[in-house]
Chain A
């Protein structure tokens, strides 16, 4: 039983990767770290596990300072993106290895391994060796070995990222319902924002030097504190339209620096921007622009189709209006031809506004 605390942790190689990072993950909390590849997510996990020695700061498990404690005495279980399975051992023995190290009796080992294998649907593979199973099955074996260990802290590094869509959805659901994970602190690393939003009780978005924002799924997606966070979450990416505020008499208008797109600011939007000086980077999520057929949205502009792709459950339209190219999320059942005129409706209340220089969210 443990909560995990990091206090002012520093770690760097040729550049600082973790710069005075502080974080508390409560007992039973599922904390997800998301960020671009190469930003230092795995380094952070390795510092918690003790596989890297921190340059400064403290790592605390359940009140016990483990900063100078070697990894095998920290009671943290970690999965590696590379699986790190023992090639000469069967899947069963791989999963059982942390229990063997603890000299658990045979009957209890069997019971624990079978339980976790059933959960991960690899019961039928227990007698095989790693080279005889697929990549996805290896990943599940590695996950099984971590789950069976019943540690104080789970550290999961991209545990489902190499699996195909079907198993990924299945395992995501299991992460939600696994009681085992609800007893301890879990830190889960992924580059996939959808996975982060789905799984995290809280999510930390990692940027240069550490966590740029920590919050619930809705907080970080709907109220990102900076353009960096907004950019990293969402697919297709958020539309970024650099704009200038103009005040004509009583009216407040945002005009795009390039082209001639403009938005009249009213109500709450106006309140946010009223005191702002200088330029504003307007962030518009693709799902907040619609191909208008009725008149429900507040502002509608004429546009021209540049490209359209029907993907899985969504369609992605790129359309140009007022000299600005915008990405719009549509139904996959639509069909648009390049050059075709369309009318775009904007959910102006959903717009995000960022400081044009520092990228800070002006609403926050």
Chain B
């Protein structure tokens, strides 16, 4: 069990012509028993961070501490963290049971104890029935479980999971999400999960650290990231289909403050609680953001309205993604799959003014 603290952590890969600053001044605390996801696009520094925590990579500057104790100089074995990788790395000639028992054998545990541990982990992961099979006989999902089991069996201080689900089919992935969550609940171990897939991160983690360009952008719960993104990057990266952004300006009319989208008749109403802050700004230019799922096709009291025309209706089974056009600007909204919306059809969309996000167009930071 461990609380993991990263303080002013930096990683620079030196190179002859141009060294790469892969992790910049990272400060992050993972509480004991917490499930934290490191999320970001490829090349954001999440894997370098992970490798430094595990001890597979040297630290350029800064401190990594487990339960307040500096571990910078410790080897991976001494740190006692268990890692499961994207590739399963199972021994092909060992049975599942032998693969699971291997880390224990290395540590010199007796046969009886190894058997007990294998049984315990197999039960937890629901792989009791395949213990005598070889990896080649297993499906991708089963191999993934065995690989996880081998990490879990060591009873480490913390678990590090690196893109463990990126090879799985969507259906399997979904099952594994709930499975991993269940396993985490029953073990209550500190877990750091690295992924580029926001759905995995949002579903699994207590808190999510969003990284981009070597810098931690935001560290918070799903709710924080969705409703209070610190900047445009986070608002853009989190959410699928992607957030709609518009360049616009703050204007005032009889009804109060409006956010007019440049070069179109489209305007959004910001939340009343934010109008004062917006009015006080010197600059009138803003970036407006609203998520596709925050549009509704059903009117109800208190909602604002925009009118648009349907450009494209993508039926996806559970929902439809509708691409719309209004005054020369296109944007997307989620709609019920039952609506038959044809190209060119006029449509009214409704939204809550509290779902309108406003960003500074220069610094891209969240205004309100």
- Whether A312 lies near B239 (C-beta < 8 A) is yes
Taking CB atoms, residues of chain A closer than 8 Å to B169 are 36-37, 191
Q: Which among A36, A164, A177, A235 is the interface contact of B174 at CB below 8 angstroms?
A: A235
**A165 vs B196: C-alpha distance in the bound complex, in angstroms?**
10
Q: Which among B171, B293, B323 is the interface contact of A173 at CB below 8 angstroms?
A: B323
Taking CB atoms, residues of chain B closer than 8 Å to A310 are 202-203, 222
What is the number of residues of chain B that contact chain A, defined by CB distance less than 8 Å? 38
A binding-site residues for B, Cβ under 8 Å: 36-37, 134-135, 164-166, 169, 172-173, 176-177, 191-194, 197-198, 217-218, 221, 231-237, 285-287, 307, 309-314, 318, 329, 332
- Whether B316 lies near A197 (C-beta < 8 A) is yes
Q: Which residue in chain A gives the minimum CB-CB distance to B236?
A: A166
**A34 vs B300: C-alpha distance in the bound complex, in angstroms?**
39
- Whether A135 lies near B174 (C-beta < 8 A) is no
Q: Which residue in chain A gives the minimum CB-CB distance to B42?
A: A134
Q: Which residue in chain B gives the minimum CB-CB distance to A169?
A: B241
- Whether A164 lies near B41 (C-beta < 8 A) is yes
Taking CB atoms, residues of chain B closer than 8 Å to A194 are 316-317
- Whether B241 lies near A198 (C-beta < 8 A) is no
Interface centre among B171, B238, B319, B323 (most CB of A within 10 A): B171
- Whether B42 lies near A135 (C-beta < 8 A) is yes
A–B Cβ pairs within 8 angstroms, 9 of them: A164-B196, A165-B241, A192-B170, A194-B317, A235-B170, A309-B178, A309-B181, A309-B203, A312-B238
- Whether A198 lies near B242 (C-beta < 8 A) is no
Nearest CB on A from B250, distance (A): 27
Interface positions, chain B 199-249, Cβ under 8 Å from A, are 199, 202-203, 222, 226, 236, 238-242
**A237 vs B170: C-alpha distance in the bound complex, in angstroms?**
10
B binding-site residues for A, Cβ under 8 Å: 41-43, 169-171, 174, 177-178, 181-182, 196, 198-199, 202-203, 222, 226, 236, 238-242, 291-293, 312, 314-319, 321, 323, 332, 334
**A232 vs B319: C-alpha distance in the bound complex, in angstroms?**
16
**A231 vs B175: C-alpha distance in the bound complex, in angstroms?**
13
Nearest CB on B from A135, distance (A): 7
**A221 vs B240: C-alpha distance in the bound complex, in angstroms?**
21
- Whether A237 lies near B174 (C-beta < 8 A) is yes
Nearest CB on B from A228, distance (A): 12
- Whether A165 lies near B312 (C-beta < 8 A) is no
- Whether B178 lies near A307 (C-beta < 8 A) is yes
Interface centre among B178, B203, B242, B314 (most CB of A within 10 A): B314
- Whether A191 lies near B170 (C-beta < 8 A) is yes
Taking CB atoms, residues of chain A closer than 8 Å to B182 are 307
**A20 vs B332: C-alpha distance in the bound complex, in angstroms?**
42
Taking CB atoms, residues of chain B closer than 8 Å to A309 are 177-178, 181, 203
**A330 vs B327: C-alpha distance in the bound complex, in angstroms?**
33
Given contacts A309-B203, A311-B203, A312-B202, contact A233 B174 (CB under 8 A): no
Taking CB atoms, residues of chain B closer than 8 Å to A231 are 171
**A218 vs B202: C-alpha distance in the bound complex, in angstroms?**
30
Interface centre among B177, B226, B315 (most CB of A within 10 A): B315
Q: Which among A173, A221, A313, A318 is the interface contact of B317 at CB below 8 angstroms?
A: A221
- Whether A235 lies near B318 (C-beta < 8 A) is yes
**A218 vs B314: C-alpha distance in the bound complex, in angstroms?**
11
Taking CB atoms, residues of chain B closer than 8 Å to A192 are 170
- Whether A312 lies near B240 (C-beta < 8 A) is yes
**A97 vs B171: C-alpha distance in the bound complex, in angstroms?**
38
**A232 vs B203: C-alpha distance in the bound complex, in angstroms?**
22
**A313 vs B294: C-alpha distance in the bound complex, in angstroms?**
9
Q: Which residue in chain A gives the minimum CB-CB distance to B41?
A: A164
Taking CB atoms, residues of chain A closer than 8 Å to B178 are 307, 309, 318
Taking CB atoms, residues of chain A closer than 8 Å to B315 are 197-198, 217-218, 221
**A192 vs B314: C-alpha distance in the bound complex, in angstroms?**
14
Nearest CB on A from B280, distance (A): 30
Q: Which residue in chain B gives the minimum CB-CB distance to A193?
A: B317
Taking CB atoms, residues of chain A closer than 8 Å to B202 are 310-312
**A236 vs B199: C-alpha distance in the bound complex, in angstroms?**
13
- Whether B43 lies near A311 (C-beta < 8 A) is no
**A134 vs B316: C-alpha distance in the bound complex, in angstroms?**
28
Given contacts A193-B317, A311-B203, A312-B240, contact A134 B43 (CB under 8 A): yes
Taking CB atoms, residues of chain A closer than 8 Å to B323 are 173
Given contacts A218-B315, A311-B202, A311-B203, contact A198 B174 (CB under 8 A): no
Q: A36-B169, A165-B198 are in contact. List 9 more A-B contacts (CB 8 A).
A: A169-B241, A169-B242, A173-B323, A237-B171, A310-B202, A310-B203, A311-B202, A312-B199, A313-B241
- Whether B171 lies near A235 (C-beta < 8 A) is yes
**A314 vs B317: C-alpha distance in the bound complex, in angstroms?**
13
Nearest CB on B from A198, distance (A): 4
Question: Nearest 9 A-B pairs (CB), nearest first?
Answer: A313-B293, A198-B314, A221-B317, A309-B203, A165-B240, A166-B242, A194-B316, A217-B315, A312-B240
Taking CB atoms, residues of chain A closer than 8 Å to B203 are 309-311
Q: Which residue in chain A gives the minimum CB-CB distance to B170?
A: A235
**A285 vs B178: C-alpha distance in the bound complex, in angstroms?**
18
Q: Which residue in chain B gives the minimum CB-CB distance to A329?
A: B318
- Whether B312 lies near A233 (C-beta < 8 A) is no
Taking CB atoms, residues of chain B closer than 8 Å to A314 are 318-319
Interface centre among A169, A177, A221, A312 (most CB of B within 10 A): A312
Taking CB atoms, residues of chain B closer than 8 Å to A198 are 314-316, 321
Taking CB atoms, residues of chain B closer than 8 Å to A164 are 41, 196
Nearest CB on B from A297, distance (A): 15
